[in-house]
């Protein structure tokens, strides 16, 4: 049976055959099946149907429609035949069976048609294959789901046709709002930070009007009061007439990023405050030398204007004197290696060409760039003071020490000549013995005073050397016993009246690695102190104790002793025990002797200490590693 041989009516209307042909032409890409409504036998099967279902017209025509295609209405239990019978028309989506057993999804348009006497009733079914499209749609869904779970992405759509209280749907929004739950605009507004609400509404309107994407960052307030940042992007969709339909979009949580931005901004602000406070000079530079930023303190230090510094003609290299270039290289290397550089002393050449002494410390701003921040302290005043101090030391050592040495030499000469004169003129009693004794005593006293002066000057010099770091120590293998014996000999010479007992081991040598002069100096200092405080009739004892790791030398006196609370302080620079008087009136001192001793012993890797009991005496000791 061919359709062109039949004259048909539709809803009691005459349907001209040319209408049917044009319909068939128009739907040339669709599968067309005509079946008898009464017995459901297929009577027409076009070429597209052959392709779609994998059956030729020959195979299909005459077959029972439902038995062959097994149609199922998608999305519902609707019996299409019943609706067809009642309304003459049915539209919907169907699954149907292909010859190979696979299912196809079609959009089906079925129309009931009658012949003129109403006997033969046919169903014209036009099916469009949706299988591929549905598969793509399903794939798309999967993609989206994958993307949303992988990227913590929220999807949303916003119905623009139903203002003002529009429904917003959130899909797959684990981090945004409960997934898939539609909320209205009022509900949404409650969650958005009040300050962000109006700007976000304006941005949406703007996007709709300009047909552009809506891009925004908004803050959401959680029910527990916590705040979260969302980055939102939406795209307005329009109907064919250009009316806005809805806005579809994505959103993701950027709270962490915002938090980091905040912290960064806070530390930037702190840094800026520090720079602007102008407490110290601050510059931001590159390692190669460019000055990117300088605060006022730095500018006044070098005398250049900000413009002059930043034109690029001047770099920190060009304003560094040649003798400091090497130090600058070290700074750069330290910064590369460790990210910070310890404070160093250097100088800049100011605009007038003069050197400005500074203390500089620097740190890399971050690992990715070669930007550094340098803190610069003006040291001109300190340097001036240092120069004055050096000058003073120079004066002490030359202007004072030289004449003192000359006086001492002359006094010693006078003493010797006088003794020789006395010996030679023993017979002639031109001088009575008491006058001779007086001259001898005053000569001896003068020499003693000079020795005191000499020691004080030496102490001062030594302590300035300690401060400068120029104290020289030359360690070498030497014999401790020899050092002790030589020092004791010297001391006996200086104070022949004082009993000095030496208790050393019987062995011949005690080998140490030390500067013999310095160790002798420390021991002499201990013994001199003991002399100062011990009554002359009480012996001063000196001894050595050898232990596994170290050797200890001690000097014991029977002087007044030292109160326990001040014992730790006797080693401090310029410390003197208040009211502590030497028995022989030798009170001239700076409180430097023991301080120098401690530094000297520490330089040797040893230790110093004192054990003392008031009224009984003190034992000062020092130890040296073996």
Identify which of 446, 302, 443 has the alpha carbon closest to the alpha carbon of residue 376.
302
**Site for ligand ADP contains 200 (CB under 6 A):** no
Contact status, residue 98 vs residue 72, Cβ threshold 8 Å: no
| Minimum separation from the CB atom of position 582 to ligand ADP (A) | 7
Positions 579 through 608 that interact with ligand ADP (CB under 6 A): 580, 589-595
Angle between helices 433-468 and 593-603 (to 10 degrees): 50
Residue nearer to ligand ADP on the CB measure, 383 or 451: 451
Q: Which residue is nearest to ligand ADP, using beta carbons?
A: 589
Residues with Cβ within 8 Å of residue 625, at least 6 apart in sequence: 549, 550, 604, 605, 606
Cα 117 to Cα 5, 8, 120, 447, distances in angstroms: 15, 10, 8, 159
**Site for ligand ADP contains 577 (CB under 6 A):** yes
- Which residues pair with residue 220 across a beta bridge? 192, 228
Contact status, residue 157 vs residue 248, Cβ threshold 8 Å: yes
| Minimum separation from the CB atom of position 482 to ligand ADP (A) | 25
Stretch near ligand ADP under the rule CB under 6 A, chosen from 83-91, 143-151, 218-226, 528-536 = 528-536
CA 428, 432, 438, 441 torsion-angle sign: positive
Considering CB under 6 A, how many residues would be counted as binding ligand ADP? 20
Please provide the size of the chain in residues. 626
Site string for ligand ADP, 487-526 (x = CB under 6 A): ----------------------------------------
Stretch near ligand ADP under the rule CB under 6 A, chosen from 202-210, 260-268, 414-422, 575-583 = 575-583
| Minimum separation from the CB atom of position 544 to ligand ADP (A) | 18
| Preceding peptide of 254 cis, ω within 30° | no
Residue nearer to ligand ADP on the CB measure, 85 or 591: 591
| Minimum separation from the CB atom of position 607 to ligand ADP (A) | 16
C-beta atoms surrounding 367 within 10 Å: 7
Query: Which residue in the set 236, 516, 559, 606 belongs to the binding site for ligand ADP (CB under 6 A)?
Result: 559
Q: Phi then psi for 395, rounded to 5 degrees? A: -60, -45
**Site for ligand ADP contains 530 (CB under 6 A):** yes
Residue nearer to ligand ADP on the CB measure, 518 or 595: 595
Distance of alpha carbon 92 from alpha carbon 110, whole angstroms: 9
Query: Which residue in the set 49, 105, 570, 601 belongs to the binding site for ligand ADP (CB under 6 A)?
Result: 570
Contact status, residue 594 vs residue 457, Cβ threshold 8 Å: no
**Site for ligand ADP contains 254 (CB under 6 A):** no
C-alpha of 30 from chain center: 68
| Minimum separation from the CB atom of position 454 to ligand ADP (A) | 13
* Phi/psi-derived region of residue 249, left when phi > 0, alpha when psi is between -120 and 50, beta in every other case: beta
> What H or E segment, with its residue span, contains residue 427?
none
Contact status, residue 576 vs residue 552, Cβ threshold 8 Å: no
Stretch near ligand ADP under the rule CB under 6 A, chosen from 151-159, 254-262, 398-406, 573-581 = 573-581
| Minimum separation from the CB atom of position 395 to ligand ADP (A) | 21
Residue nearer to ligand ADP on the CB measure, 33 or 530: 530
**Site for ligand ADP contains 533 (CB under 6 A):** yes
First to last CA, the chain: 124
Residue nearer to ligand ADP on the CB measure, 383 or 576: 576
Site string for ligand ADP, 538-557 (x = CB under 6 A): -------------------x
| Minimum separation from the CB atom of position 585 to ligand ADP (A) | 13
What's the CA angle centered on 28, arms 25 and 33, to 5 degrees?
A: 100
| Minimum separation from the CB atom of position 487 to ligand ADP (A) | 16
Query: Which residue in the set 522, 562, 599, 601 belongs to the binding site for ligand ADP (CB under 6 A)?
Result: 562
**Site for ligand ADP contains 531 (CB under 6 A):** no
| Minimum separation from the CB atom of position 459 to ligand ADP (A) | 6
**What is the token pair recorded at 536?**
């002359």
**Site for ligand ADP contains 576 (CB under 6 A):** yes
Cα 372 to Cα 138, 291, 329, distances in angstroms: 55, 10, 14
Positions 107 through 146 that interact with ligand ADP (CB under 6 A): none
Distance of alpha carbon 377 from alpha carbon 343, whole angstroms: 10
The residues that touch ligand ADP, with contacts defined as CB under 6 A, are 529-530, 533, 557, 559-560, 562, 570, 575-577, 580, 589-595, 618
């Amino acid at each position: 049976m061919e359709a062109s041989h039949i004259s048909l009516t539709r809803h009691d209307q005459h349907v001209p055959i040319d209408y049917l042909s044009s319909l068939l032409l128009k739907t040339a890409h669709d599968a067309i099946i005509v079946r008898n409504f009464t017995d459901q036998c297929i009577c027409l099967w076009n070429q597209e149907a052959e392709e779609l279902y994998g059956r030729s017209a020959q195979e299909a025509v005459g077959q029972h429609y439902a038995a062959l295609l097994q149609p199922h209405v998608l999305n519902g239990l609707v019996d299409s035949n019943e609706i067809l019978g009642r309304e003459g028309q049915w539209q919907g989506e169907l699954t149907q069976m292909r010859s190979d057993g696979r299912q196809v999804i079609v959009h089906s348009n079925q129309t009931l048609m009658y012949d003129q006497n109403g006997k033969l009733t046919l169903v014209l079914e036009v099916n469009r294959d949706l299988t591929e499209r549905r598969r793509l749609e399903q794939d798309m869904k999967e993609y989206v789901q994958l993307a949303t779970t992988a990227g913590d992405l929220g999807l949303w759509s916003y119905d623009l046709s139903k203002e003002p209280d529009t429904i917003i749907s959130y899909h797959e929004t684990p981090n945004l709002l409960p997934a898939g739950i539609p909320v209205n605009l009022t509900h949404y507004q409650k969650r958005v930070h009040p300050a962000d609400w109006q700007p976000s509404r304006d941005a949406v309107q703007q996007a709709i009007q300009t047909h552009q994407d809506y891009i925004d960052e908004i803050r959401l307030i959680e029910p527990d009061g916590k705040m979260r940042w969302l980055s939102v992007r939406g795209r307005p969709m329009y109907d064919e007439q250009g009316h806005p339909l809805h806005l579809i979009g994505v959103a993701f949580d950027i709270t962490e990023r915002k938090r980091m931005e905040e912290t960064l901004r806070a530390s930037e602000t702190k840094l800026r405050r520090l720079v602007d406070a102008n407490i110290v000079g601050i510059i931001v530079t590159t390692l190669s030398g460019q000055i990117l930023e300088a605060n006022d303190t730095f500018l006044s230090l070098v005398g250049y204007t900000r413009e002059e510094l930043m034109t690029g003609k001047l770099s920190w290299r060009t304003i560094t004197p040649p003798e400091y270039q090497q130090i600058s290289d070290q700074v750069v290397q330290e910064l590369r290696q460790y990210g910070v550089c310890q404070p160093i002393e250097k100088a800049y050449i100011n605009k007038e060409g003069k050197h400005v002494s500074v203390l500089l410390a620097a740190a890399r701003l971050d690992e990715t760039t070669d930007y550094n921040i340098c803190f610069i302290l003006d040291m001109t005043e300190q340097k001036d003071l240092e120069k004055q101090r050096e000058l003073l030391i120079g004066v002490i050592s030359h202007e004072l020490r030289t004449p003192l040495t000359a006086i001492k030499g002359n006094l010693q000469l006078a003493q010797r000549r006088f003794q020789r004169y006395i010996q030679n003129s023993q017979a002639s009693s031109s001088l009575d013995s008491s006058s001779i004794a007086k001259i001898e005593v005053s000569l001896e006293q003068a020499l003693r005073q000079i020795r005191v002066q000499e020691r004080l000057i030496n102490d001062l010099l030594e302590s300035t050397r300690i401060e400068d770091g120029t104290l020289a120590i030359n360690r070498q293998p030497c014999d401790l016993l020899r050092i002790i014996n030589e020092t004791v000999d010297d001391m006996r010479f200086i104070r022949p009246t004082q009993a000095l007992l030496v208790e050393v081991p019987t062995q011949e040598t005690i080998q140490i690695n030390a500067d013999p002069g310095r160790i002798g100096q420390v021991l002499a200092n201990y013994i001199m102190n003991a002399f100062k405080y011990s009554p002359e009739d009480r012996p001063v004892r000196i001894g050595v104790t050898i232990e596994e790791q170290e050797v200890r030398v001690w000097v014991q006196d029977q002087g007044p002793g030292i109160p326990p609370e001040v014992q730790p302080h006797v080693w401090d620079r310029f410390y003197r025990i208040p009211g502590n008087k030497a028995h022989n009136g030798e009170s001239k001192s700076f409180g430097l002797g023991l301080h120098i001793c401690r530094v000297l012993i520490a330089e040797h890797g040893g230790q110093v200490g004192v054990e003392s009991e008031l009224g009984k005496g003190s034992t000062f000791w020092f130890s040296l590693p073996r």
